[in-house]
Structure 1
Amino acid sequence: MWKVKPPVAFSMETRYRPILESLVPPDPMSQFHLRRFSPDEEFPDLNRNSTWMGRILTPAMYCRQFHRCTHSGVIFDDVIRPGLEEPGDWSSPVSVGCAAGDAQSYVLFCDFFDRVIEAHHQHKISSQTPEADFNYDNLKGTCDLDRSYAARCEVSVVRGVEDFCFPTHCSRGERRQLLTLARKALQRLEEELPGQLLLLEELDQEQQRELNLDPPSSSQLRIGVARDWPDSRAVWVSKDGSLVVWVNMEDHLRLVSTRDDADVAEAFKCICINLQKLEEVYRELRHPFTWKQQLGWVSSSPADVGTGLRVRVHLRLRHLPGHKRLQDVLKRLRIRMHTTTESPALYCVSNAATFGPSEVGLTQLVVDGVKLLLAMEKRLEDGRDIDELVPTQK
């Protein structure tokens, strides 16, 4: 398996150097008194690591990050810990293998994070502000998905809250304060969309099953996301069932809109309207959502930078999943497809990246991709070839 070659010059670090120098004390690690050896002796074993972190990280890069520390105490070993706990395997999609402990991590460790983000999202970082588009009326062709194939859809978005560490690094007090902020913001949202905030610690097992809430995984426990579970974790559910907001789970906030009629446009509209309302309330509370000029919206995972948007459509497919050209088609469409636990013939199709296109652009990409996959499935049902439908390489 190939490895990413380190560039000759680290342009991102050069751009941020004045900021980096102002953030890093002369000897930041001295205040923690950590018993660590030299960078060469502390460098992790990445021989069997299939994450982007494992492919990109070199001893020289590790040495540059080794003595850096954010104001809240995040060091580089905290950043790469998820990829060391879950190294992945070569047969699965490549995960980022790292997580930001706070928003400052994206600046302080920029020469590492920028390269992971570019590799994962297949989009170059520039000095330009990422494009944003929440105008759901710009979506095209969402109303003609064949319901005999499209079972349902889900649109979700994640947001980090400014001035708070991300879940892998935040304290109990921070997590509880985030819940207090969410309670105030969601009460304002209830003025137009009635709903109820449910604390996880007050829910029994049956209620958790109804909310499709799984207990934290061993990986989440190891990297610190699930510390003190279920303290200060909550879910807000609208009375009409159109919107669910997860608080303090894998991210500060996660908004989810699910529809059994596979109406992607309506799900996307629900997310856009309520996300913008919450954004305004959080800004009034003096804790806006976390934004970085070159990256857009950022949260704990580099896999969610830019828009934080995920569009998922569940399809009933029998012929296409076994076709020899499927992986090539998915790559060219920039979408992913995997099986679900509900049925061997039910597949989830989603966007592969969140960085680059706007919110409308990403949603349109999934809709167009789904329509093409359905056209291919119908051709295979009739015993016809799909070669002429395969898109050209983008």
Structure 2
Amino acid sequence: MEYPKFTQEHKSLMAKYLTKDVFESLKDKQTENGFTILDVVNSGVQNPDSGIGAYAGDKESYTTFGEFFDPIIKEYHGFTKEDTHQTNLNPDDLQAVNPDPDNEFIVSTRIRVGRNLDKFPLGPAISDTQRKEIQTTVTDALNSLNGEFKGQYYSLDDLSDEDRDTLIKDHFLFKEGDRFLETAGLNRNWPKNRGIFHNTDKTFLVWVNEEDQLRIISMQKGGDIKEVFTRLINAIKHLEKTMAFSFSKHLGYITSCPTNLGTAMRASVHIAVPKLAEDMDRFKEITDKYHLQIRGTDGEHSKSTGGVYDISNKRRLGVTEVQCVQDMYDGVVELIKIEKSL
């Protein structure tokens, strides 16, 4: 096993922290799933423009290769190996009256979490047989849901053209992963044993075997953030009755990408702030104050359409789920206040 060749273009946290000494210390180790340090860093080695450049193959990766992962997690999350993650899934603790009851600014609200099943490897190390077993377990749980969660599962293997067109039109259908996920091993056997579930009202959605084994999503038009959060938590509670999710006291919910550790939550709104957007420095000053991220209308690396931006929480590890959503809510209240004043 040879030390990877890095160029001046390699600016990722992986390239920063995979020193020759760290590599020598870890090169002979592997997890019980056979995942090695070269597997962990392959995406970042192949893609010099990566931001992080490292993916875990299983829960064990974070301890077996802790000498490498710990400083990355510390720099990205401000979270040390001595810290303990706290979780709070109680919607009653969220202070969030609808900040836009007349729907003047908030187009839609969407909150999602990533989850992976305990006792299984993560996506980069999983076999197709294991992925099939996960799909069966998850779809059995989803098909047993009733009330507002009752819906239908669509397997990517056998989607009809009509269903595919409908899911694309609703912005539900996830595509094959990009080159970063490809080189992390997450696109293997595409599209086998992957799919999408949504309820009748299209306010509750689950992606199965995308980057994480489950992406659980609550969404709706308008700005009732608390209602969206409450639906998500209720769905998680239902699913936890039949499935155990991978979790550690130190890192919270375990995900393949270290940026999602902790709550694995992204709480976001699409919000129209065309006047404020003319002064991006001020816009960014507000979002930075509330630990928020600005994206274009269609997400990361996209541009805004009609002054509409995707605003979401930046912090995930070392803060609770309620804090993640509260950050987003408080920031949105401030953005609306400033937009009204301009």
- Same fold flag (TM > 0.5): yes
Q: What is the aligned residue count?
A: 330
Between the two proteins, what is the percent identity of the paired residues?
Answer: 26
Instruction: Report the equivalent of 2:165.
Output: 206
Higher RCO (Cα < 8 Å, 6 or more apart): 2
Match of 1:32 in 2: none
Q: What 5-or-longer segments of structure 1 have no aligned partner?
A: 1-35, 90-94, 283-287, 382-394
* One-letter amino acid of the structure 1 residue matched with residue 249 of structure 2: Q
Query: In the alignment, which residue of structure 1 is the partner of 2:301?
Result: none
> Is 1:144 the counterpart of 2:144 in the alignment?
no
Give the root-mean-square deviation of aligned CA atoms: 2.0
Q: Distance in 1 between matches of 2:83 and 2:316?
A: 18
Q: 1:220-245 deviations in whole A, cap 9, x for unaligned?
A: 33332111111000111111222101
Q: Does 1:335 align with 2:292?
A: yes
Residues 245 and 256 in structure 1, CA contact (< 8 A), matched pair in contact too: yes
TM-score, normalization: structure 1? 0.79
Structure with greater Cα Rg: 1
Q: Does the aligned pair in 1 maintain the 2:293–2:312 contact within 8 Å?
A: yes
**Residue of structure 2 equivalent to 1:372:** 334
For residues 1-394 of structure 1, the aligned pairs below 5 Å read: 36-37=1-2, 42-88=3-49, 95-128=51-84, 130-145=85-100, 147-190=103-146, 193-203=149-159, 204=161, 205-212=164-171, 213-219=173-179, 220-282=181-243, 288-323=244-279, 324-341=281-298, 343-379=305-341, 381=342
| Residue identity in the other structure for 2:69 | F
> Structure 1 residues 116, 229: CA separation in 2 closer, same or farther (over 3 Å shift)?
same
Deviation track 1:149-188 (CA, whole Å, cap 9, x = no partner) reads 1111100011111111111121110100101111222133
Shift of 1:191: 6.9
Residue 365 (structure 1) shift: 0.8
How many angstroms does 1:281 deviate by? 1.0
The answer as to whether partners of 1:99 and 1:300 remain within 8 angstroms in 2 is yes
Unaligned runs of 5+ in 2: 299-303
Aligned partner of 1:334: which letter? H
Q: Is the 8 A contact 2:176 2:191 kept in 1?
A: no
Q: Tell whether the 8 Å contact from 2:286 to 2:331 is kept in structure 1 after alignment.
A: no
Paired AA for residue 140 in structure 1: Q
Tell me if the contact between 1:85 and 1:223 (Cα under 8 Å) persists in the aligned partners. no
Partner Cα distance (1:145, 1:125) in 2: 40
Q: CA separation in 2, counterparts of 1:322 and 1:56? A: 38
Question: Alpha-carbon deviation of 1:126?
Answer: 2.6
| Kept after mapping to 2: 8 A contact 1:125/1:294 | yes
TM-score normalised according to structure 2 size? 0.90
Q: Kindly provide the amino acid, as one letter, of the partner of residue 71 in structure 1.
A: E
Note if contact 2:96-2:226 (Cα within 8 Å) is conserved in structure 1.
no
Distance in 1 between the 2:175 and 2:98 partners?
Answer: 36
The match for 1:33 is none
Shift of 1:211: 4.6
Distance 2:141 2:69 in 1: 31
Moved more, 243-252 or 145-154: 145-154
